[in-house]
């Protein structure tokens, strides 16, 4: 075993891309794993030839509701369908479009990302979901993962309203799944859970007792969440309230939903290419050119084109199950084709006025560092990084409106002449904590306003991202851009040609057209005038008494502080596995070293009571930034602070002794409630939250999965890198309430 691996084994953490804050560069680089898609989408997909899909039957369908007794009712089905996203994906084949699983009004129009729900605060929503999926999966299923074992139906689903304030039995937890004729252990037959004897259905009650915000609903079934979400079981959920309506009525923000107020759902996908020799043994029958592709092999670094560390190679004396299964889960998946609203590289005509974009990162694992630049005058398909476009004015996050708008100017990550991200002596991206512009992790949302009023008709701009993948430790094989090096010999793609994919940097194009109708009222520029710069970190909010956005107060009076950890190790088959845990050692790692990570099925450690306020300090012992998502609650970021992982492991009972330097406040756009928080490697992220439970007009039962805990409301907290969540970076969050059975 090398000295580098001895160090990592003694720490029991981060055998992959561990950010050594005290060690040298050699050890860091020796352990950097390779994680890139080893099949590519069909070449020649032209950028900016297809329009962005808006809302409605010609774009992304909006779900139809009925009303009864003060409730908004939706009847939605999940089924298989095909949708043609871009003609170049299917060139030379008879394929009628990409095969998806997804939502639609029952018996209605199935289109990718369909079934958008528009709700209003104070009016609860009841959604009845019917499972009409065939009993097979369009993607490779790993039956060695918890919940996906042989004999369990693969057409299982459960509806999770991501960001919703819902009773636990409508939260859509991983074990509340149902298929056309099976149900998971947390699926209940009571009120708002399908009803006795109704097979293939579930019913969800959403209180909508929250401020205005963009949420989304997506699948959360244990063992196949990453596959179901990638296959298309996801859509947007727009919640409006009186404050938002007043801002629109007063002319302060754009308010024409679907026209000047648009959701932008950003994802990366890889599409099947039958001509790629690496797809000869792809384990899905009936797949066609342009269908979704998902990795199915775990490729150890010891192979010529290996991708990830493998337990038997790193710790030869440890007991692992061999050989590796096929299909096998992978540590994370970065695709090669960026889509916005289901369209690869779309364009959007914009008039000379303000636009509101509600951005959702719905990718598996890819982060975005969003910026806006003019296109090159000689080539409108390529970005001119020397000509920044209008600023982003961020007014909200996934927790609703910010208490003050934040201004983002545009500057890319520092790169060399070949487009490779620059790193310092320790392998960290230069300017890691300050260089990002509008960073959006998987599941994060950003509600922004862009003012195109002063641009000329005919101007062309490009929404651009240069976030590394993985984040923040870059692997250039996951970064696709015009003129990138040919990496086909090492499992990557050929060099990207101008105007074509694969590309993960140029996301979409804006084309400025003549304004029709009256100009925007002058007060629509007020939020721009109030915006604070997103430079540095904000210990205190500035006092702007005329700021029209709502005041926000953090919870106070915490009853306890928890010290929690983010961890990485090998599973019993030698594959990399991510886990959450506490600062108390649990099951030893495979090599006998200390391990803090706990599998999802371990007894709950995060158990609290309704109404309590807690502070969580989460120490990231891995090399990745993890977007940690909290069900039920919104949290407030208090601070981030560097720590020494070796010192933490040596003295886990005294984590303060490992802290380094001074804590810094949240980013300017992190003031206010959030339910997905970026937690960087080598840092302790401190958050505070209050565990309120929703009030509902029916009795909520105690969770049957936790009979030893009285009055248990079953929620979870987890990483929203979907491959991490699935294997096994998720833990129960139990809130007890004496009001329930």
Alpha carbon separation from 541 to 406, 551, 689 (Å, rounded): 11, 11, 19
> Which pLDDT does position 429 carry in this prediction?
56
Q: Collect all residues with Cβ–Cβ distance below 8 Å to 640 and sequence separation of at least 6.
A: 537, 663, 664, 666, 680, 683, 684, 685, 686
Neighbours of 610 (CB within 10 A): 16
Beta-bridged to residue 119, according to DSSP, are: 239
Q: Token pair for residue 237?
A: 């959920």
pLDDT given for residue 37 in this prediction: 46
DSSP string, 233-274: -EEEEEEE-HHHHHHHHTTSS---BTTTEEEEEEEEE-B--T
Q: Which residues contact 235 (CB under 8 A, 6 or more apart)?
A: 60, 63, 102, 103, 113, 114, 115, 116, 117, 216, 217, 218
User: What pLDDT, in 10s, does the model give residues 141-156?
Assistant: 999 999 999 999 999 9
Distance from C-alpha of 465 to C-alpha of 674, rounded to nearest angstrom: 23
Assigned CATH for 560-736: 2.60.40.420
DSSP string covering 352-381: SSEEEEEEEE--SS--EEEEEEEEETTEEE
d(C-alpha 611, C-alpha 9), whole Å? 41
Digit-coded pLDDT (tens) for 274-306: 988 888 889 999 999 999 999 999 989 888 777
Does residue 15 have a pLDDT over 60?
Answer: no
- Output b/e per residue, 508-533; b: 16+ Cβ within 10 A: bbbbbeeeeeeebeeebbbbeebbbe
pLDDT digits (tens, 9 = 90+) for 522-557: 999 999 998 988 876 655 556 666 678 888 889 999
Residue 25 has pLDDT above 60, yes or no: no
Tokens (6 digits) for 144: 């060695």
Please state the domain extents for the chain.
55-257, 337-533, 560-736
- pLDDT band of 33, cuts 50, 70, 90: very low
At 32, is the secondary structure helix, strand, or coil?
A: coil
Of the listed ranges 276-280, 343-347, 370-374, 674-678, the least confidently predicted one is 276-280
- What are the φ and ψ backbone dihedral angles of 249, each rounded to 5 degrees? -60, -30
More confident residue, 30 or 157: 157
Tally Cβ neighbours within 10 Å of residue 305: 14
Fill in the DSSP letter of residue 318. S
User: 49-98, pLDDT tens digit by residue?
Assistant: 999 999 988 899 999 999 999 999 999 999 999 999 999 999 999 888 99
What CATH number does the domain located at 55-257 have? 2.60.40.420
Of the two residues 530 and 268, the one the predictor is more confident about is 268
Contact present, 359 and 448 (Cβ < 8 Å): yes
Reference 732, options 601, 616, 632; nearest CA is: 601
Burial 142-169 (b: 16+ CB within 10 A, else e): bebbebbeeebbbbbbbbbbbbbbbbbb
Q: Reduce the DSSP state of residue 577 to 3 states and report it.
A: strand
CATH class held by domain 337-533: mainly beta
Q: What is the DSSP letter of 450?
A: E
**CA proximity to 606, closest of 654, 561, 554, 653:** 561
Least Cα distance to 531 among 394, 632, 644 occurs for 394
CB 325 within 8 A of CB 144: yes
pLDDT at residue 119 greater than cutoff 80? yes
Q: Is the pLDDT of residue 39 over 90?
A: no
Beta-bridge partner residues of 717 = 630, 731
| 3-state SS, residue 563 | strand
On the question of a common fold for 337-533 and 560-736, the answer reads: yes
Give which of 593, 705, 706, 694 is closest to 652, Cα–Cα: 593
């Amino acid at each position: 075993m090398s000295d580098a691996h001895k160090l990592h084994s003694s720490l029991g953490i981060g055998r992959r891309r561990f950010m050594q804050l005290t060690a040298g560069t050699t050890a860091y680089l020796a352990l950097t794993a390779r994680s890139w898609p080893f099949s590519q989408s069909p070449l020649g997909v032209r950028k900016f030839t297809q329009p962005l899909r808006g809302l409605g039957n010609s774009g992304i369908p909006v779900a139809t509701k009925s009303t009864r007794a003060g409730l908004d009712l939706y009847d939605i089905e999940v089924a298989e369908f095909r949708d043609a996203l871009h003609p170049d994906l299917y060139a030379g084949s008879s394929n009628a479009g990409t095969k998806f699983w997804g939502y639609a009004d029952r018996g209605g129009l199935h289109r990718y990302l369909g079934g958008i729900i528009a709700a209003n605060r104070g009016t609860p929503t009841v959604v009845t979901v019917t499972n009409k999926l065939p009993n097979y999966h369009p993607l490779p299923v790993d039956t060695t993962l918890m919940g996906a074992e042989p004999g369990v139906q693969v057409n299982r689903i459960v509806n999770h309203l991501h960001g919703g304030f819902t009773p636990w039995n409508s939260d859509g937890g991983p074990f509340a799944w149902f298929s056309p004729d099976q149900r998971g252990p947390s699926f209940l037959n009571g009120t708002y859970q399908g009803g006795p004897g109704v097979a293939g259905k579930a019913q969800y009650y959403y209180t909508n007792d929250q401020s205005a915000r963009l949420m989304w609903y997506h699948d959360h079934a244990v063992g196949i969440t990453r596959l179901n979400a990638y296959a298309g079981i996801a859509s947007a959920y727009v919640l409006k309230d009186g404050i938002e309506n007043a801002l629109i009525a007063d002319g302060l923000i754009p308010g024409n939903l679907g026209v000047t107020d648009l959701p932008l759902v950003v994802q990366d996908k890889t599409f099947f290419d039958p001509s790629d020799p690496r797809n000869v043994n792809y384990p899905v029958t009936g797949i066609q050119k342009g269908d979704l592709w998902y990795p199915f092999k775990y490729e150890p670094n010891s192979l010529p084109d290996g991708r990830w560390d493998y337990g038997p190679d790193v710790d030869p004396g440890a007991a692992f199950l061999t050989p590796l299964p096929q299909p096998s889960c992978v540590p994370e998946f970065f695709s090669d084709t960026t889509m916005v609203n289901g369209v690869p590289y779309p364009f959007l005509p914009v008039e000379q006025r303000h636009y509101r974009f509600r951005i959702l990162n719905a990718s598996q694992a890819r982060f975005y560092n969003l910026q806006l630049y003019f296109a090159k005058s000689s080539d409108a398909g390529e970005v001119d990084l020397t000509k920044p476009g209008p600023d982003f004015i961020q007014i909200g996050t996934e927790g609703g409106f910010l208490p003050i708008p934040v201004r983002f100017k545009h500057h890319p990550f520092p790169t060399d002449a070949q487009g490779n991200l620059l790193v310092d002596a320790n392998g960290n991206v230069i300017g890691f904590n300050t260089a990002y512009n509008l960073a959006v992790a998987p599941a994060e949302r950003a509600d922004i306003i862009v003012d195109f009023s002063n641009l000329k008709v005919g101007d062309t701009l490009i929404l651009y991202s240069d976030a590394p993948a993985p984040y923040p430790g870059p692997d250039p094989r996951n970064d696709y851009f015009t003129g990138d090096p040919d990496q086909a010999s090492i499992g990557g793609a050929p060099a990207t040609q101008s105007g074509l994919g694969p590309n993960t940097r140029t996301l979409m194009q804006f084309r400025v057209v003549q304004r029709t109708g009256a100009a925007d009222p002058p007060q629509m520029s007020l939020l721009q005038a109030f915006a604070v710069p997103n430079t540095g970190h904000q210990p205190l909010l500035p006092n702007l008494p005329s700021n029209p956005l709502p005041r926000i107060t953090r919870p106070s009076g915490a009853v306890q502080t928890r010290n929690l950890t983010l961890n990485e190790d090998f599973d019993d088959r030698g594959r990399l596995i991510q886990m959450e845990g506490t600062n108390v050692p649990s099951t030893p790692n495979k090599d006998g070293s200390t391990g803090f990570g706990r599998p999802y099925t371990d007894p709950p450690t995060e158990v609290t009571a309704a109404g309590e306020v807690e502070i969580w300090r989460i120490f990231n012992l891995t090399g990745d930034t993890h977007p940690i998502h909290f069900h039920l609650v919104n949290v407030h970021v208090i601070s981030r602070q560097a720590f020494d992982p070796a010192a933490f492991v040596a003295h886990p009972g005294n984590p303060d002794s490992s802290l380094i330097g001074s804590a810094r406040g949240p980013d300017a756009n992190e003031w206010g409630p959030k339910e997905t928080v970026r937690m960087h490697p080598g840092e302790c992220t401190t958050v505070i939250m209050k565990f309120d439970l929703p009030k509902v007009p029916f009795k909520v039962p105690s969770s049957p999965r936790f009979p030893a805990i009285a009055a248990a409301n079953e929620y979870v907290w987890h990483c929203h890198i979907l491959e991490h969540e699935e294997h096994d970076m998720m833990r129960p969050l139990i809130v007890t309430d004496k009001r329930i059975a």
